């Protein structure tokens, strides 16, 4: 009988987890090894990465609820986005929502046990009128519900971020989306430095920052690594990791989807490079991770419940079942453990 020898260059994934837990930064060679590992190593990778996740987050999963409060009509040319000026995608377009609709969405978010209500508007940056309406909406939601509020409003300056903080916004989202080197391939109407300036304006107020990216846009492994290192340098608090949905009518409509194992390796890398941050499996998880979604929770500790900006998400009850069946529990806005509604 012929015995196949064990590969001598096999990576010890637990040693990488030890480095991460010790606060060390993986070398570029080690980061490449995570992304380029064979499928046969995937479960070993996840087991090692889960040690890091468990150290900081236990077996808890946070839920976020996303509201597209103003849709379409955006002057930017982000190639992945169905709301951009260069998109011909058939989406619903509307100005900033009436307050009663926002409050109804907040009520649904609270019912679904979301710890964070994420209010998003399309556009480069809010007009003075829209910004005032956002502030009013924040105050009203904050007065009625115990959820934290995250606002995603495009490019912001320090005066605007100070007003958001005073109104009760807990966190501002502004994604880097990709590496500095790759940014020009996905958007030309604003720069990577513009995005950095917004995040720095948010941090100057004491609010926490939410920033992540999108994978599957033609980026290289080095782009993925560079973005993670940029987020680490910025010390962002929350990191949404999106997987591209190639929406018809956008320039990236023909992009080939990542396979679920690639997505899991990306989540593993980001947990090792961002060990203490909240990692959220965001847009595209249902499309790209497919049947392997539960395994993503061994690296990430947060998901969106409900729909995304212009694409539908998985039913909330399916998310609860996925979380509970995998042995995880829901975490509320203040860290308390919550029972999922109508849990079976």
Q: Is 271 a catalytic residue?
A: no
Give backbone dihedrals phi and psi of 120, rounded to 5 degrees, phi first: -120, 140
Which of 53, 60, 62, 81 is labelled catalytic? 81
Q: Is 263 a catalytic residue?
A: no
* DSSP symbol at 170: -
Q: Is 152 a catalytic residue?
A: no
For 48-84, b/e burial (b = at least 16 CB within 10 A) is bbbbbbeeebebbbbbbbbbbbbbbebebbbbbbbbb
Which of 62, 171, 280, 285 is labelled catalytic? 280
Give backbone dihedrals phi and psi of 11, rounded to 5 degrees, phi first: -80, 140
Q: Are 27 and 58 in contact (CB under 8 A)?
A: no
Distance CA 164, CA 131 (A): 9
Q: Is 187 a catalytic residue?
A: no
Distance CA 168, CA 311 (A): 28
Which of 152, 187, 210, 268 is labelled catalytic? 210
Distance CA 170, CA 178 (A): 24
Which of 53, 60, 62, 78 is labelled catalytic? 78
Which of 62, 150, 171, 285 is labelled catalytic? 150
Q: What's the token pair of residue 320?
A: 């609860």
What are the angstrom distances between the C-alpha of 335 and each of 46, 48, 62, 115? 24, 24, 9, 9
Q: Is 78 a catalytic residue?
A: yes
Half-sphere exposure of 270 (CA within 13 A, CB side): 34
Q: Are 52 and 19 in contact (CB under 8 A)?
A: no
User: CB count, 10 Å around CB of 113?
Assistant: 22
User: Which residues does residue 71 pair with via DSSP β-bridges, in sequence order?
Assistant: 94
Catalytic residue positions, numbered = 74, 78, 81, 118, 150, 210, 280
């Amino acid at each position: 009988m012929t015995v196949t020898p064990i590969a001598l260059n096999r990576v010890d994934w637990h040693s990488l987890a030890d480095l991460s837990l010790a606060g060390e930064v993986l070398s570029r060679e080690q980061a490449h090894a995570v992304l380029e590992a064979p499928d046969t190593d995937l479960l070993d990778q996840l087991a090692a990465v889960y040690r890091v996740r468990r150290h900081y987050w236990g077996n808890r999963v946070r839920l976020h609820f996303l509201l597209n409060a103003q849709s379409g009509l955006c002057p930017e040319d982000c190639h992945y986005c169905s709301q951009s000026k260069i998109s011909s995608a058939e989406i619903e377009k509307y100005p900033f929502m009436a307050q009663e609709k926002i409050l109804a969405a907040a009520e649904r978010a609270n019912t679904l046990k979301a710890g964070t209500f994420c209010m998003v508007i399309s556009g480069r940056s809010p007009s003075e009128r829209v910004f005032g309406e956002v502030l009013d909406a924040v105050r009203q939601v904050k007065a009625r519900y115990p959820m934290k509020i995250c606002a995603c409003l495009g490019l912001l300056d320090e005066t605007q971020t100070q007003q958001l903080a005073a109104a009760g916004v807990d966190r501002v989202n502004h994604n880097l989306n990709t590496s500095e080197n790759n940014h020009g391939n996905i958007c030309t109407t604003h720069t990577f430095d513009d995005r950095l300036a917004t995040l720095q304006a948010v941090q100057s107020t004491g609010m926490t920052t939410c920033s992540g990216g999108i994978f599957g846009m033609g980026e290289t492994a080095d782009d993925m690594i560079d973005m993670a290192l940029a987020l680490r340098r910025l010390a962002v608090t929350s990191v949404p990791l999106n997987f591209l949905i190639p929406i018809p009518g956008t320039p990236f409509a023909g992009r080939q989807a990542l396979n679920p194992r690639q997505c899991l390796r990306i989540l593993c890398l980001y947990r090792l490079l961002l060990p203490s941050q909240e990692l959220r499996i965001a847009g595209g998880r249902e499309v790209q991770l497919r049947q392997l979604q539960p395994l993503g929770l061994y690296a990430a500790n947060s998901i969106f419940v409900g729909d995304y900006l212009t694409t539908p998400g998985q039913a909330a009850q399916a998310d609860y079942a996925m979380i509970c069946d995998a042995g995880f529990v829901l975490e509320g806005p203040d860290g308390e453990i919550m029972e999922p509604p109508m849990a079976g």
